[in-house]
Amino acid sequence: MPGVQDNSILWLRESLARIHGEPLVDPGSEFYDQALAERVQNYQRDRHLTVDGIVGTQTQVLMNTDLDIPGTPLLLEAP
C-alpha cells in the first residue's frame, strides 16, 4: 500500500522486475513510493484487476502465478 515502509516492499520490487523480465540491479528502498504504486497499477491494469495500487490477495495470487516459482501453490480453474 502506498506510504508503507517494510522489507516486503523489496520483494514487491524484485517480483515486478522478474515478471517484466527486467534486471534488478538495485533493489531500491523499502518505501512504497509513487513510482512503485504506478508499477503496481500498470500490472493490475494489464491483468484486468481492480486498479488501486494495493497489492491485495488477487494481485498477490496473480503475481505468484506469473513468477512461476517451483513449489508455489497455484489455483486452478475448474474444468
pLDDT for residue 28: 77
Domains identified in the chain and CATH numbers: 8-67 (1.10.101.10)
Those residues with Cβ within 8 angstroms of residue 46's Cβ, 6 or more apart along the chain or in another chain = none
Position 16 pLDDT exceeds 80: yes
d(CA 41, CA 78): 28
pLDDT band at 43; cut points 50, 70, 90: very high
Q: pLDDT tens, 59-76?
A: 999 999 899 888 776 666
For the question of whether the overall pTM of this predicted structure is more than 0.95, the answer is: no
pLDDT for residue 58: 93
As a whole number, the mean pLDDT across the chain is 87
